């Protein structure tokens, strides 16, 4: 089994202010750990294309996209909310991040690989149809899911989100779509202040209390995610892979470790092998403690590779 790694140097160009946790060093930390682990040598590397306007408009409103570009034309630095900054190269980086997921879906659906990981930034799962927030401008995983549904005529796509922060944008975009099953776990109550427990239908939210660790995560996954996934039988799985729930990461109060991410990845792989022909696209979301981020990504990818 082979794994495609999709990224682009442009993702490093998105600059933030000195105190901002979402930095280009995040991708460097992942690259360093992939080298140290030996995984770098067995991955198949691809350059992310720029996302197209058509691909973005499947999940984002046209006026929202127009407004982003208009704001950037008039200023060198734009704060879209208290956390989300846009600089001259930000939209290029965001375009590569969303384009990477489209490329990953194409590689998987055309049979070149069964697995793909998108090492990209800025992240995406907080971006709503018409709103940037939480470091996110384009909802990368939503762009990929919509591309899979539209271009490959799929009927059942699962999105699994294990970031420490609730993926409000992804849920909003697919709130009315029975073709997309969303299974998420996150600290609650916490940013962005939404993400109520939901254990039925096509949205399965498993909130975790501050201080929760692997045992609580595993209970929620086994009790709620796995039965929903078995009933849904996804044809493709996309992962919003956030590693900010690691106990070394001060962006949350969860206490996960690498073994927890490996276990979770193994469960996802089992579902994919059973129902989706092994097809998984994983997309980087959070993770801000650099060493923990790199180690967690390695554990995630090793588990997916089996």
Active site residues: 126
Q: DSSP string covering 201-253, please?
A: TTEEEEEE-TT-BHHHHHHHIIIIIHHHHHHH--SEEEEEE--TTBTT-TTS-
Dist. CA 42–CA 205, nearest whole Å: 35
Length of the chain: 306
**Ramachandran assignment for 84, one of left (phi > 0), alpha (psi -120 to 50 degrees), beta (any other):** beta
Dist. CA 268–CA 120, nearest whole Å: 21
Q: Are 298 and 34 in contact (CB under 8 A)?
A: yes
Q: Which of 168, 261, 278 is nearest to 221 (CA)?
A: 261
Helix ranges, the chain (H): 25-37, 53-57, 62-74, 90-109, 140-151, 168-173, 214-220, 226-232, 258-275, 290-305
Dist. CA 28–CA 46, nearest whole Å: 16
Find all residues with CB under 8 Å of 14, minimum gap 6, and list them: 24, 87, 89, 90, 92, 93, 94, 121, 122
SS3 annotation, 40-68:
HHHCEEEECCCCCHHHHHCCCCHHHHHHH
């Amino acid at each position: 089994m082979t794994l495609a790694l999709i990224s682009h140097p442009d993702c490093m160009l998105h600059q933030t202010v000195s105190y901002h946790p979402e930095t280009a060093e995040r991708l460097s930390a992942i690259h360093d750990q992939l080298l140290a682990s030996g995984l770098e040598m067995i991955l198949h590397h691809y350059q992310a294309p720029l996302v197209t306007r058509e691909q973005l408009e499947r999940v984002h409103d046209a006026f929202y996209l127009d407004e982003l570009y208009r704001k950037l034309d008039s200023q060198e630095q734009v704060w879209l909310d208290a956390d989300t900054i846009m600089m001259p190269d930000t939209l290029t980086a965001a375009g590569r991040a969303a384009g990477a997921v489209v490329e990953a879906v194409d590689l998987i659906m055309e049979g070149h690989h069964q697995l793909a990981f998108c090492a990209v930034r800025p992240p995406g799962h907080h971006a709503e149809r018409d709103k940037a927030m939480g470091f996110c401008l384009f909802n990368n995983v939503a762009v990929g899911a919509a591309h899979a549904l539209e271009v490959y005529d799929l009927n059942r796509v699962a999105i699994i989100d294990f970031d420490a922060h609730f993926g409000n944008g992804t849920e909003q975009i697919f709130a009315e779509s029975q073709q997309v099953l969303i299974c998420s776990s996150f600290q609650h109550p916490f940013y962005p202040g939404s993400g109520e427990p939901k254990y039925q239908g096509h949205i399965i939210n498993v909130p975790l209390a501050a201080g929760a660790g692997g045992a609580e995560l595993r209970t929620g996954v086994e009790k709620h995610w796995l039965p929903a996934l078995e009933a849904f039988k996804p044809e493709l799985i996309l992962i919003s892979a956030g590693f900010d729930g690691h106990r070394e990461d001060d962006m949350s109060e969860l206490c996960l470790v690498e073994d927890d991410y490996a276990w979770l990845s193994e469960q996802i792989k089992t579902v994919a092998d059973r129902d989706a022909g092994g097809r998984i696209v994983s997309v980087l979301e959070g993770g801000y403690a650099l060493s923990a981020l790199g180690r967690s990504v390695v554990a995630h990818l090793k588990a997916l590779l089996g």
